[in-house]
Structure formats: structure tokens, C-alpha cells
Amino acid sequence: NRRVLLKSRPQGEPTLANFDVVDAPIPEPKDGEYLSRTIWLSLDPYMRGRMSEAKGYAANVNLGDAMVGGTVGQVLKSRNPKFKEGDFVVEYSGWQSHAVSNGAMSMKLDPDAAPLSAALSVLGMPGQTAWWGLMQIGQPQARETVVVSAASGAVGSVVGQLARLHGCRAVGIAGGKEKCDYVVKELGFDACVDYRAEGANLFKALRAACPKGIDVYFENVGGAVQAAVVPQLNDFARVPLCGLISQYNEMQMNPGPDWRLLLVKRALVKGFIVSDHFAEMAGFWKEVPAAVKAGKIKYREDVVKGLDNAPEAFIGLLKGRNFGKLLVQVSDD
Ligand code: NDP
């Protein structure tokens, strides 16, 4: 069993030295459990929080334990009547090639309904995050302007396309020309601002892209991007506070937006964690899979081959090196 363990806690940016890649015996399922081989491992920004000691919304990974993470696997042996050999499952096996599970957090997948990896991207946790945050907190109304940061990524790409489907002007913020071109030309956003190229001109570039101001800001990054957006919020704007990826490696948080502006604009800012809402996804299942099938919501996956390459890929995710949902192919589909 190939496993990637947390060896030490990062100070600032994670490095390869924070991880240990080891071989261990393949575990045997006990009564009520099954053994699966991992096919796809999802790498997600929240994993940075699990590596640290700071208190988060979920338990941190202990030193010497395998890194946690969402996976798609195939059942090899089962002593649980709900899962049989050969079944495909979306599960939470972490950074390892094999795992036993009691199935409490596992869901069977139909390999003919959609590519297996989609269960970790557009049809999985990131897609549900986009839908829940935008629809439940953002409450987009036709002809409003919706801005989303990390726009080419797993969550942001779905936010902007959903906003368009609901009659809004969708404006992305992303790093680099290639990502911005993709967001506009492939995903159909109305505009995309390259925050890396604009630098200190970000405020102006955003104003040009949002002539009527910003009604919904789906926050994924924080920092300088947030500082450029908040003064451009319209009265009664809604801000689904989804992530602050530019801050995850910082030893000290930046001071955040000017609260006076939020008061004057009567803005709603609401943080949310998607796992609190997995039971409230009826609207997601009604809307998103059909839109994906019809090509109205497109998605892109950035696939890294081999579990041993997971640490390097994860380090890159926190610097914007990925282009699309970052996945590790651990074994063949
Ligand atoms: P992405 O696929 O969007 O990948 C991360 C992207 O973030 C990078 O590609 C990069 O895009 C951007 N980024 C990385 N570092 C920085 C930086 N220093 N400054 C600005 N941008 C940066 O990831 P996800 O779609 O999975 O996640 C997006 C956000 O959503 C994250 O903040 C994540 O924590 C959050 N999230 C929250 C959930 C919740 O329940 N609240 C659930 C899932 C995700 P670029 O090159 O364009 O800058």
C-alpha cells in the first residue's frame, strides 16, 4: 500500500519535506468493511488547513498519518453487504493507493452516467460548493453582475457558468492570459480580469469589466483581489465567502475588507462550508448534471499521474500552477 504521510507541519508554504511517501501492507477488511483501490485522488486547497496545527472547522491530520482527501475507488474485497467487488465508489480514502472503509461516507457511482473523475470535480464537492454558495447565499437575479475569483478553477468555473445560466453578467478574475482566455472563450463568461498582469491596476480593470458595479462577489481568494472588489460592491450586494486561498500559506492574515463599506452598502457576507450542506443539494442534482450533459456547464481537469507526485502538485495548487480541477490518477480507470 503506497501512502503519503504528513511528516511535519509547514511554516508558510508547504515543501516536499513536509511529506513522507511510504509502502505499507495492504490492509484486510474486517466485518462491515470493504477494501478498495484508489483510482482518483482529489487535491483541494482545504488540505493546507489540515496540515497545520491551527484550529479549523475539521480535525487536523496527525503527524505520521496519511493525508486526508476525497477519492474515487473500486471495491476489491467486501465484508459489507452494501458494497460488492467491482463497485465504483466515491469515498474519502486519502492519499493512499488502497484503503479499508466502513462505507459510512461512501457513495456508489454509475460509471456509465459520467466519467468517474467528475464525482470529484463538477459533480462532486467543488461543483456543489459553487452551486450552494451562489444560489443560496449569492441569490443571483437576472441582469445582475456576478464576479468570481479563481475563475478558471474547480469551483469558480462552475460559479460563472451558473451565473450566466441564470441571466447574469459573469466576470471572472484569474491569474494569467491563458486562464482568462479559457474563462471567456470556452466557459462563456462575459469578461475575465487577469490579476497578475493588472497588478496595481486591478481596481480599474475590474471597474471596466463591471460598469454597473458588483451585485454578487463569490470570494475564493482574499488578499489584494478582495481589496479591489469590495469598494465596487453595489448596495445590498451578497458575498458568499467560500475561500481565501491567497492567505492559506500566510503566517499572518491580512487585515481584510473595510467593514464601514460593508455597512454603508448593506452587504451580506456569509461564510460557508459545503460539507454542512451536503443534505441540501436537491437543487444541485436537479440542475447541474443535466447542464453538464448538455454542454451548458463545461469543466476542465488537470491530471497528475502517480500518487508519488501528489505533494508537488499540491504545493503548486496553492500557487496557481494548476489549470482546472487538480486530480491525481493513482491507478487505471
Ligand atoms: P482551484 O481549482 O480554483 O485552484 C486554486 C486556484 O486558486 C489556483 O489555480 C489559483 O488560480 C488560485 N490561487 C492560488 N494561489 C493564489 C494566490 N496566492 N492568490 C490568488 N489566487 C490564488 O481550487 P478550488 O476551486 O478547489 O477552490 C477554490 C476556492 O474555494 C479555495 O479558496 C478553496 O479553499 C475554496 N473552497 C471552499 C469550500 C467551502 O466549503 N467553503 C469547498 C471547496 C473549495 P489563479 O491562477 O487564477 O490565481
Q: Which residues line ligand 1 (CB under 6 A)?
A: 44-46, 126, 129, 150, 152-156, 174-175, 179, 220-221, 223, 242-243, 245-246, 272-274, 317-320, 322, 325
Same domain, 77 and 135: no
A 10 A CB-CB count for 124 gives 21
CATH number at residue 216: 3.40.50.720
CB 132 within 8 A of CB 272: yes
Same domain, 82 and 31: yes
Number of folded domains that form the chain: 2
Residue 178 is part of which domain span? 125-277+285-291
CA distance 37 to 330: 9
Same domain, 87 and 218: no
CA distance 78 to 100: 9
Same domain, 322 and 196: no
Same domain, 138 and 268: yes
Q: Ligand 1 centre and the CA of 233: distance in Å?
A: 21
**What pLDDT was estimated at residue 57?**
86
Q: Under DSSP, is residue 210 helix (H, G, I), strand (E, B) or coil?
A: coil
**What pLDDT was estimated at residue 255?**
85
Same domain, 148 and 222: yes
A 10 A CB-CB count for 293 gives 11
Widest Cα–Cα separation across the chain: 62
H or E stretch at 283 = helix 282-293
Residue 322 CA: nearest ligand 1 atom is: 9
Contacts of 317 (CB under 8 A, 6+ apart): 43, 44, 45, 326
Same domain, 111 and 232: no
Same domain, 130 and 259: yes
Joined grid coordinates for residue 87: 463497485
Same domain, 218 and 203: yes
Same domain, 142 and 206: yes
Same domain, 183 and 51: no
Same domain, 73 and 217: no
CATH number at residue 44: 3.90.180.10
Tens place of pLDDT per residue across the chain (333 aa): 999 999 999 999 999 999 999 999 999 999 999 999 999 999 999 999 999 998 888 889 999 999 999 999 999 999 999 999 999 999 999 999 999 999 999 999 999 999 999 999 999 999 999 999 999 999 999 999 999 999 999 999 999 999 999 999 999 999 999 999 999 999 999 999 999 999 999 999 999 999 999 999 999 999 999 999 999 999 999 999 999 999 999 988 888 899 999 999 999 999 999 999 999 999 999 999 999 999 999 999 999 999 999 999 999 999 999 999 999 999 998
Q: What is the ipTM of this complex?
A: 0.99
